[in-house]
């Protein structure tokens, strides 16, 4: 997995920032639970990241509103095979 680096001047929407944070924390968590020896500190960090990821994902899901996405999807051009003239 490619790790993205973000600076303090990174511009984007709140959703993009939360998704970036989720990606970053998920990558760190996967490294902390990989199949190699981990110190007690790393095990503690993994446990904390697991809780943080759960809270972050719950927050992101609670703010999700499908209507905005549905409007965009419905406005996309349809493939000719899906257009039926009745």
pLDDT digits (tens, 9 = 90+) for 20-60: 899 999 999 999 999 999 999 999 999 999 999 999 999 98
Domain assignment present for 1: no
37-44 contacts at long range (C-beta below 8 A, 24 or more positions apart):
none
Residue with structure tokens 């899901």? 61
Residue 60 belongs to some domain of the structure: yes
- Residue 6's pLDDT is 67
pTM (two decimals): 0.65
Considering the domain boundaries, does residue 83 fall inside one? no
Domain that holds residue 55: 14-74
Query: How many structural domains comprise the chain?
Result: 1
> Is residue 6 one of the residues assigned to a domain?
no
The answer to whether residue 85 sits within a structural domain is no
Task: Give residue 86's pLDDT.
Answer: 66
């Amino acid at each position: 997995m490619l790790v993205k680096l973000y600076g303090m001047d990174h511009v984007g929407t709140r959703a993009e920032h939360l998704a970036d944070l989720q990606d970053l924390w998920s990558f760190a968590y996967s490294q902390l639970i990989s199949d190699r020896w981990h110190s007690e500190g790393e095990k503690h960090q993994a446990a904390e990241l697991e809780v943080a990821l759960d809270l972050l994902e719950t927050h992101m899901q609670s703010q999700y509103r499908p209507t905005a996405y549905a409007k965009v999807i419905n406005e996309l051009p349809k493939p000719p095979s899906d257009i039926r003239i009745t």
